[in-house]
């Protein structure tokens, strides 16, 4: 039995050995991610953000930023960190984000085509992310779009508490996973 993480097209959860029913629990969730800021330099090539979506996993909640043309060999730059409040780049305006902690995600990819100015991701500054419904999520509580400013897009992700997270890239995607717990077993 193999379960696919709904909505992301990423990752596969192997079945639990000896599990007879889909309700079997998964143990041995990864630890060691930490909650300190995570940053990466980009390739220097400008790519546009076209979508943001989320998914649930037994060990963590996942956010995926779709940025076509990027890859681990030609990455998009990013800065992901916990912040006391979500401050919109450019204006300095505080955008309220619900949850016990706020993870600020900055991708060096605007939500518009830099050559034409045409919108590539239809989010509005200060508003929840379009098409993202967090009902039933264990860790994710709220999302807000900060906007695109000077070639980068900013997202506020409200989470239940300051929990460990990881950031990685696969072809055309920047992925942020936030663990449900600091414990190794769930």
Q: Which two tokens stand for residue 178?
A: 């936030």
Q: What is the mean predicted confidence (pLDDT) over 53-63? A: 95
Q: What percent of the chain has pLDDT over 70?
A: 82
Res 27: pLDDT: 58
Q: What is the mean predicted confidence (pLDDT) over 62-86? A: 96
Question: Using one digit for the tens of pLDDT, what is the confidence trace for 130-154?
Answer: 999 999 999 999 999 999 988 999 9
Res 10: pLDDT: 43
CA distance 157 to 83: 10
What residues does 158 pair with on adjacent strands? Answer: 102, 142
Hey, what domains does the chain have and what are their CATH numbers?
A: 2-179 (2.60.40.3500)
Question: Using one digit for the tens of pLDDT, what is the confidence trace for 3-22?
Answer: 334 333 444 333 222 222 23
Residues 6+ apart with CB under 8 A from 43: 70, 74, 75, 76
For β-strands 165-170 and 51-56, DSSP reports them as: unpaired
Q: What is the mean predicted confidence (pLDDT) over 96-114? A: 96
Res 184: pLDDT: 54
CA distance 174 to 42: 12
Q: What is the mean pLDDT of the chain?
A: 85
* Predicted TM-score (pTM) of this structure: 0.83
Among 25-29, 110-114, 115-119, 141-145, the minimum mean pLDDT is found in 25-29
What is the residue whose two structure tokens read 């989470």? 159
- Reported as a pLDDT band with limits 50, 70 and 90, residue 186 is very low
Q: What is the mean predicted confidence (pLDDT) over 92-111? A: 97
- Reported as a pLDDT band with limits 50, 70 and 90, residue 44 is confident
Res 29: pLDDT: 81
């Amino acid at each position: 039995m193999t379960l696919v993480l709904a909505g992301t097209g990423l990752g596969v959860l192997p079945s639990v050995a000896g599990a007879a029913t889909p309700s079997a629990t998964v143990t041995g969730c990864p630890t060691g991610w930490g909650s300190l800021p995570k940053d990466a330099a980009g390739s220097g090539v400008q790519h546009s953000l076209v979508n943001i979506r989320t998914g649930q996993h037994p060990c963590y909640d996942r956010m995926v930023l779709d940025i076509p043309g990027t890859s681990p060999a030609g990455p998009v730059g990013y800065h992901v960190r916990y912040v006391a409040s979500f401050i919109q780049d450019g204006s300095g305006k505080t955008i309220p984000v619900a949850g016990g902690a706020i993870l600020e995600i900055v991708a060096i990819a605007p939500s518009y085509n830099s050559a034409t100015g045409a919108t590539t991701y239809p989010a509005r500054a200060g508003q929840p992310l379009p098409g993202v419904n967090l009902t039933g999520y264990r860790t994710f509580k709220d999302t807000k779009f900060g906007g695109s400013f000077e070639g980068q897009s900013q997202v506020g992700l409200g989470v239940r508490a300051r929990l460990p997270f990881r950031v990685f890239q696969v072809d055309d995607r920047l992925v942020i996973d936030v663990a449900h717990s600091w414990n190794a077993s769930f």
